[in-house]
Structure 1
Amino acid sequence: MSTRDLHLDHESCYRAVKSRDRRFDGVFYTAVHTTGIYCRPSCPARTPASRNVTFFPTAAAAQAAGFRACKRCLPDATPGSPDWDVAADVAGRAMRLIADGVVDREGVEGLAHRLGYTPRHLTRLLGAELGAGPLALARARRAQTARVLIETTPMGYADVAFAAGFSSVRQFNDTIREVYASSPTELRGRRGGPRSATGTITLRLAVRTPFAGEALHRFLAHHLVAGVETAGPGWYARTLDLPHGPGTVRLDLADAPVAGETAFVPATFRLADLRDTSAAVERARRLVDADCDPVAVDDHFAGDPVVGALVRLTPGLRVPGQVDGDETAVRTVIGQQVSVLGANTVTSRLVAEHGTPFETGVPGLTHLFPSADTIAGLDPEDLPMPRSRGRALVGLAAALASGDVALDRGPDRDDVRRRLLDLPGIGSWTADYVALRALAHPDVFLPTDVGVRNALADLGHDPAAVVADSEAWRPWRSYALMHLWNTLMPPVDPADPAAEGSTKES
């Protein structure tokens, strides 16, 4: 049974609850009428009778129906639904934007505008699909962020309230009591300790297992852009350009090989403005592909003559995401038809000359990536690349700056791809790579990619024959692509710059 097959069918959901299947944590929520609480499917409490439960697609829907969160299983401390990226329908795209704090910053009107709907129609759509409108979904997200901050940091309650996106401490207190049937003080319990430095927050990002953290670390460390990114043994850090100010994040990436559980990626954020907490967390979650269902993905490739063996070697491989869609697109154009080392070198020069410097307190992190506005104003003749690519880069940046192309995951993916292909110098490889990394598309394959063909040849396969049969990998071709690239990824010592950039993606 897959998450796509489930679709809140009562009997299928109840079977998942009886088996305490952790794969469905975050996919749906179980509300128990006799207790008035809602739980994750894997809650260790005694399974209630089928007649006493109702299933909801979101925590917000359960809260809107009058249920409070279980204190035992913490149902909001789960990855999100993988269907949000698989289907990428209006509901899924809305959930991504809500998690990024768009409703808190721009209201329902701003969310609706990004998605191309009127506020009233969007509210109807989300109510029908997710059981709650955008305000209720944003409120549930604020409550979750607040609970995590209360229980895992020594931040003061007023700081927690504004970091989570609440407009007042009173609203924060009322919501926490309503959702968790506890006061903030009761949630924190006996947790003590010294206050942390202002703006420094350490959290854990929930991911489904297996989780190939070491492979993700190798990929990110192999593509470092100086000034924006840095890495060391088992960790990766980078700067963040957030709505209210700059920040940084450090991720500790380790393998969690046991399947069917929930693991946690430690993440430390340094933020100039605590109101950016939700946005920073969501962008870090994108980066590690936190909502992937690795069991479903890996099971799909069982028995495949090409990818099956690679999955067994590296179960739970993730598609590295992004913290800024515009940055990803710019880096993709720079990397067209050059080695990773060459792309990293050129991009690092662009950052040093046109990025925004700021003091991070983290060695190696010195700049924010240049904005699309800044790059759009450059003369292509002055860029350290062929003129045609320079013109393509400046043209892309102009389209991003004007909003003609939006990579915030609000627009439909197919529309974004068409708009990218309409730009001079942007071909299918570039548009599809942007979809892979910036739009979290799970079903992208790059048949012309040199790295793909080299990987297949090295594995003893005929590249033309495998590419011709790659339709069999749908709807998870992005993960097949990553498994092929992973075979080319050498062990990288991030402390040794000479170790970087020895493979190609194109």
Structure 2
Amino acid sequence: MELDFERCYRAVDSRDQRFDGCFYTAVRTTGIYCRPSCPAVTPKRENVTFYPSAAAAQRGGFRACRRCRPDAAPGSPEWDARADTVGRAMRLIGDGVVDREGVTGLASRLGYTERHLNRMLTAELGAGPLALARAQRAQAARILVETTDLGLAEIAFAAGFGSVRQFNDTMLEVYAQAPGKLRETRPVIRGEAGVINLRLAYRAPLHVGSLLEFLGARTLPGVDELDGDTYRRGLVLPHGGGSVALRPAERWVHATLRLSDVRDLAPAVARCRRLLDLDADPAAVDGTLGADPALEAVVRAEPGVRVPRAVDGFEMAVRAVVGQQVSVAGARTTLGRLIRVAGVRVAGGSGGEGAEDGAGAAGPVGGIGPSGPAPAPAHQLTGFPAAAVVAELPDAAFGMPAARRDTIRAVAAAVADGKLDLEPGADRAETTARLLDIPGIGPWTAGYVAMRATGDPDVFLATDLAARRGAAALGLPDSAKALAAHAERWRPWRSYALVRLWRSA
């Protein structure tokens, strides 16, 4: 990908944090690459080369700056928003697909040959999938070296390296220090086994209140909970279960991860970033929305509003179907019942193959009272039941009309069989089309899933009652047709506009 030298250099000279993660600055005289906001003295322009990815800078022979730690910069908002093959590939690499399935698995998911995929990624990012995954592996290893007391050999394999020698060579090349030296310079804080503390960077501003209010209103017992300014939820990860506590602060979000298998560090981090929409570019979003006089005041009053997304696409699809005709509170009650029965079945050994996902700890075993299941303590948060479990639940678990129950079962069966991909690396257009083919799913449900599960930044639900109420409150047209026409000026950020309309309602 060709970068505009003058634009990049101006960003570096002004130490503009908005460009962190968008490109990297390599200085030939020092052999170091930095993020644009690095506080070091601005290098002379004749000594600078700009790269579109950390992997490309490493491929060019540069090591990461120890001062600004460019590998910990927020991800590029471009790869987060794009729906094309390269954007999908970056999201899948971030979720650890290359480490688990190799480049062959990544290419297969995207429908391309390995050679063609390598060519596309190299053209856009200056590095192929192996190099991009290697850069991510090095970052995961550094986090484990500095925040856990795991042995270095354990860290090597947990981070995805094929051998200890490969681990040592990569760390030395990327950070110019052997792993043992990194640990010496940053002593480990001894803590609970399996617990990893880290900070997730984002581009300011971040409107914390809107995120926590949205997520807090939709918490489910055994899945997630809000305690003051800390949001906790269970995670179902490729190698096992886990949970996370997220506490937003200035410049970053404090994350405390509890993982049953530390190989899940990279996917856990990727999913947490996705949940809170931390790779968004609020300047670009607010610039477009704030240009509309009807939204100017709310954008100015609440800068940095994000789209709450998901760590589990199937969970989000079930939430969307359940919420079609009921209030948020009603949906919580219905979903709580479903989770309770799924937990009882798995704990009792009748949950089928999905039992390995740990859904059995979703709540205490016993009867279902009229007020729903009792909240599970934080350490029991396990995430949403697996699709295979939900597909086999009895009718009594659903507590909804038969047609909607059949829709949820159809979605669950399609996800369990691999016919429906609801993860961020999915082809968004194909996923939406397959959802619309399922009886009981219309444009509203498919759009809601696209916005929150697959991360489409440009969804607009013109028929949504709350959106129309919010539009009326802001002096916008409140008929679906007229509102949809007005929303065209908010492209490509209509999902963010929708969240603002909901808040105005």
Give the alignment's TM-score, normalised by structure 2: 0.90
1:20–1:253 Cα change, 3 Å: closer
Query: RCO higher in 1 or 2 (8 Å CA, sep ≥ 6)?
Result: 1
Summarize the alignment of residues 199-214 of structure 1 with structure 2, pairs less than 5 Å apart.
199-214=194-209
Contact 2:205–2:282 under 8 Å retained in 1 = yes
Contact 2:460–2:484 under 8 Å retained in 1 = no
Contact 1:301–1:473 under 8 Å retained in 2 = yes
Higher mean C-alpha displacement, 430-439 vs 150-159: 150-159
1:164–1:305 Cα change, 3 Å: same
Shift of 1:366: 4.5
Summarize the alignment of residues 2-81 of structure 1 with structure 2, pairs less than 5 Å apart.
8-81=3-76
| Aligned counterparts of 2:444 and 2:192: Cα–Cα separation in 1 | 44
Summarize the alignment of residues 162-201 of structure 1 with structure 2, pairs less than 5 Å apart.
162-192=157-187, 194-201=189-196
For residues 281-330 of structure 1, give each alpha carbon's deviation from its aligned partner in whole angstroms, at most 9, with x where no partner exists.
Answer: 11111111110011111122224222221111211111111111111111
| Aligned counterparts of 1:108 and 1:380: Cα–Cα separation in 2 | 42
1:368–1:72 Cα change, 3 Å: closer
Over the matched positions of the two proteins, sequence identity in percent amounts to 57
The number of residue pairs the alignment matches comes to 476
Contact 1:357–1:368 under 8 Å retained in 2 = no
Summarize the alignment of residues 452-491 of structure 1 with structure 2, pairs less than 5 Å apart.
452-464=467-479, 465-488=482-505
The AA in structure 2 aligned to 1:373 is A
SS in 1 for 2:420: coil
| 2:435 aligned partner | 420
Summarize the alignment of residues 274-313 of structure 1 with structure 2, pairs less than 5 Å apart.
274-313=262-301
Contact 2:204–2:282 under 8 Å retained in 1 = yes
| Aligned counterparts of 1:341 and 1:244: Cα–Cα separation in 2 | 33
Higher mean C-alpha displacement, 407-416 vs 326-335: 407-416
| 1:492 aligned partner | none
Q: 1:267 aligns with which of 245, 255, 270?
A: 255
The AA in structure 2 aligned to 1:358 is A
Shift of 1:160: 3.0
| Aligned counterparts of 1:276 and 1:193: Cα–Cα separation in 2 | 20
Contact 1:159–1:274 under 8 Å retained in 2 = no
For residues 431-480 of structure 1, give each alpha carbon's deviation from its aligned partner in whole angstroms, at most 9, with x where no partner exists.
Answer: 11011001111111110001101222233443134443110011111111
| Aligned counterparts of 2:378 and 2:427: Cα–Cα separation in 1 | 39
Shift of 1:273: 0.9
Find runs of 4+ consecutive structure 1 residues off by over 6 angstroms.
none
Contact 2:233–2:383 under 8 Å retained in 1 = no
| Aligned counterparts of 1:362 and 1:237: Cα–Cα separation in 2 | 10
| 1:260 aligned partner | none
Is the counterpart of residue 129 in structure 1 residue 110 in structure 2?
no
RMSD, aligned α-carbons: 2.0
Contact 1:235–1:250 under 8 Å retained in 2 = yes
The AA in structure 2 aligned to 1:469 is H
Is the counterpart of residue 357 in structure 1 residue 360 in structure 2?
yes
Is the counterpart of residue 429 in structure 1 residue 418 in structure 2?
no
For residues 59-112 of structure 1, give each alpha carbon's deviation from its aligned partner in whole angstroms, at most 9, with x where no partner exists.
Answer: 001111111111222111100000013322211111111111111111111111
| Aligned counterparts of 2:69 and 2:333: Cα–Cα separation in 1 | 45
Higher mean C-alpha displacement, 193-202 vs 327-336: 193-202
Contact 2:242–2:382 under 8 Å retained in 1 = no
Higher mean C-alpha displacement, 267-276 vs 365-374: 365-374
Give the alignment's TM-score, normalised by structure 1: 0.90
| Aligned counterparts of 1:162 and 1:234: Cα–Cα separation in 2 | 35
SS in 2 for 1:165: coil
Q: Which has the higher helix share?
A: 2
Shift of 1:367: 4.1
For residues 19-51 of structure 1, give each alpha carbon's deviation from its aligned partner in whole angstroms, at most 9, with x where no partner exists.
Answer: 221111100111122221111111222222323
Contact 1:287–1:321 under 8 Å retained in 2 = yes
Contact 1:214–1:253 under 8 Å retained in 2 = no
Mind listing any 5+ residue stretches in structure 2 that lack a counterpart? 344-358, 364-375
The AA in structure 2 aligned to 1:357 is G
| Aligned counterparts of 2:416 and 2:234: Cα–Cα separation in 1 | 20
| Aligned counterparts of 2:301 and 2:191: Cα–Cα separation in 1 | 40
Summarize the alignment of residues 274-423 of structure 1 with structure 2, pairs less than 5 Å apart.
274-355=262-343, 356-358=359-361, 362-363=377-378, 365-378=380-393, 383-423=398-438
For residues 410-446 of structure 1, give each alpha carbon's deviation from its aligned partner in whole angstroms, at most 9, with x where no partner exists.
Answer: 2321111111111111110011101100111111111
Contact 2:295–2:474 under 8 Å retained in 1 = no
Is the counterpart of residue 221 in structure 1 residue 236 in structure 2?
no
| 2:349 aligned partner | none
Shift of 1:380: 5.2
